[in-house]
Amino acid sequence: MMKIKFLLTAILCSVVGFAQSVNDYKAVIVPLKYDFIKTENQYRLATLSKSNLVKAGFVGFYANEQLPEGYTDRCQVLYMDVVRDNAFLVTKLFVQFKDCFGQVVYTSEVGKSKEKDFELAYKECLDNAFKSIYALNYKYSGNAPVINAKAPAQVAAKISPAAAAVTTAAVATQVVAAAPSPDLKDPNLLYAQPTESGYQLIDKTPKVVMKLLKTSQSNVFIAIKDNVQGSLILKEDGQWYFESYQNDKLVSEKIVVKF
């Protein structure tokens, strides 16, 4: 009986810890497109996401919005993602809140639906997933979030096999982070957010400026900017350069990146 009480207490403390960490962020950024849909706001998922966030007490902004004064520090806001969990005859979605380094701060319960129509199914799944978020009783604490920047090797024993891809991305982050630190006051500074295949570079608005795909070399990425495909390369001078061919001519553009 004592063991059961101890276990329940540990679980309760874990839940409270998550709620407190979420409370340290003053707003949530909602993307217009998730990985499992083809177009922006398809099935009204972006609209439904922001609507649910507001109902849960959060301040929400779309990713393409100009953030107002007081919300421009990208590490004081959370970044929302909705993930589809493939299942037979059942649609499953869950919500994740990530910090400015792409680390997961909170994962919701899985929302399920047996509806065959995608729009109805996704709405029902999202509504069900948000039930666990409503239960957090979010209220901004006013405390600055503490970013966990520990190396993946230090927490490897706690990472499940299902998270191997995330760990790999974190290791890659450490490799590129070895480059000289950029000037954080540079108006052209871009911030790297990890994705399943590499990174996306966002500006301060925040707006996605470039998408990066990992290659076999840690200092070279396949890069896509404004529908132009090229390479992002870390050169000997310690600077990143986006190189592409335009009108059969090699063009090299210096890119200031914070990984």
pLDDT tens, position by position, 161-184: 443 344 344 444 444 545 566 777
With residues binned 3-state (H G I as helix, E B as strand, rest as coil), the percentages for the chain, rounded to 5, are 30, 30, 40
Structure tokens at 227: 């529908």
Cα angle at 99 between 57 and 196, to 5 degrees?
Answer: 120
Domains in the chain, CATH or no CATH each? 2-134 (3.30.160), 152-258 (no CATH)
Q: What is the pTM of this model?
A: 0.55
**Closest C-alpha among 222, 219, 228 to residue 251:** 228
pLDDT tens, position by position, 72-83: 888 889 999 999
pLDDT tens, position by position, 43-79: 999 999 999 999 999 999 998 888 888 888 888 899 9
Instruction: Answer whether 201's CB lies under 8 Å from 209's CB.
Output: yes
Per-residue DSSP letter, 7? H
**Closest C-alpha among 259, 210, 209, 206 to residue 77:** 206
pLDDT tens, position by position, 2-58: 444 444 444 443 343 343 479 999 999 999 999 999 999 999 999 999 999 999 999
CA dist 181 → 17, 169, 177, 189 (Å): 32, 19, 8, 11
Report, as an integer, the average pLDDT of 182-195. Answer: 82
What per-residue confidence (pLDDT) applies to 100?
Answer: 82
